Homo-oligomer: A and B are copies of this chain.
């Protein structure tokens, strides 16, 4: 007998690289190329350091209220956490405690099976159709819950509200989590927030790491029925009462309050995405229709994904490559500034036009 015999073993998620060299064109972890809003900067640099001697507000009142006002829901319908991995992990632990398998797509965010394994939750991966869409009818089976990102990652593909509604209607008896990390890039009224009043089993998860340029501050949130949020808070308070630090609470609140900056940044990224897509298609790339701040792009045969990934890396351009079966012909390319994407296109031309 040895202490190691009691250790819980898992296959950990492997996050994208975080190189420290600032000259790298970093398009591998779907960060926003624009800085956080000026209000967040002001809050940060004017923050009263003395106040850090006290614990943060365990109820995160300021930020939750700002989010509730922004989305037109009540304070007690909002849960916040340290990045969407924290919020989603807590949701898994809280809501997926049944014996039946939890359902999610294959391909999707690769953290889902990791949490399931970690918390010993049975799961079943359901293949996407040939165009990488979710088939709602596939989710018409007894389950312990359902989770999927919308738009999906790493494909970038958006499912319309009627399809999400179908999945909800077929799963009234279990929790359904819609992971809307990228929804702000999917256009007006793309979110299923409007369905919340009809479904007390629906949880919507959002993050400040993409559209709000605050990946470094670790902020995300969930919106659901008061009863569902209550259950999540009970679990959260059972592992850590003070997860959100005081500086992030203040900076996050400032971000929610500056809607014009936020909308402008999102629009710039969507415009760049459309332009980049057109140009890359001209070079022979096949690009899935993206509703996110990245594209899932299949390079021309001349230099396929794995090879292009390595060549780009040598040039200081970082993409994300997944060796999973159906993902393997593609690269996931984050949308940076116009200047960055022009450099990427110039590199592509070098590879494919010579």
Q: Which residues of A contact B (CB under 8 A)?
A: 1-15, 18, 20, 26, 29, 31-36, 40-41, 44-47, 49-58, 82-83, 85-86, 89, 93-98, 114-115, 117-118, 144-145, 173-175, 200-201, 209, 213-218, 227-228, 231, 234-235, 237-248, 251
Residue in contact with A44 in the complex, picked from B201, B214, B247, CB distance below 8 Å: B247
Q: Are A218 and B234 in contact (CB under 8 A)?
A: no
Residue contact B213 to A53, C-beta cutoff 8 Å: yes
User: Inside 8 A of A34's CB, which chain B residues have their CB?
Assistant: 53
Given contacts A85-B240, A118-B238, A240-B82, contact A6 B57 (CB under 8 A): no
Known: A94-B8, A216-B245. A173 touches B45 (CB 8 A): no
Instruction: Give chain A's interface secondary structure class.
Output: loop
Kindly state the separation between the CA atoms of A320 and B30 in the bound complex, as whole angstroms: 45
The answer to whether A40 and B49 touch across the interface, beta carbons within 8 angstroms, is: yes
Which residues of B have CB within 8 Å of A93?
8, 118
Q: How far is the CB of A162 from chain B (nearest CB, A)?
A: 22
Chain B residues whose C-beta falls within 8 Å of the C-beta of A239 in the assembled complex: 85-86, 89, 114-115, 118
> Is B245 a contact of A217 with CB atoms below 8 Å?
yes
CB distance from A224 to the nearest CB of B (A): 10
Chain B minimum-CB-distance residue to A61: B20
Question: What are the 5 tightest A-B residue pairs by CB atom distance, in nearest-first order?
Answer: A41-B49, A6-B98, A52-B216, A216-B246, A12-B237
Interfacial chain B residues near A50, Cβ < 8 Å: 35-36, 41
Q: Is the CB of B227 within 8 A of A4?
A: yes
- Residues of B contacting A174 in the complex (Cβ-Cβ under 8 angstroms): 1, 3, 6
How long is the Cα–Cα vector from A11 to B235 in the complex, in angstroms? 9
List chain B residues, Cβ under 8 A from A13.
237-238, 241
Closest CB in chain B relative to A291 CB, distance in Å: 21
A54 touches B215 (CB 8 A): yes
With A12-B234, A175-B6: A216-B95 Cβ-Cβ less than 8 Å: no
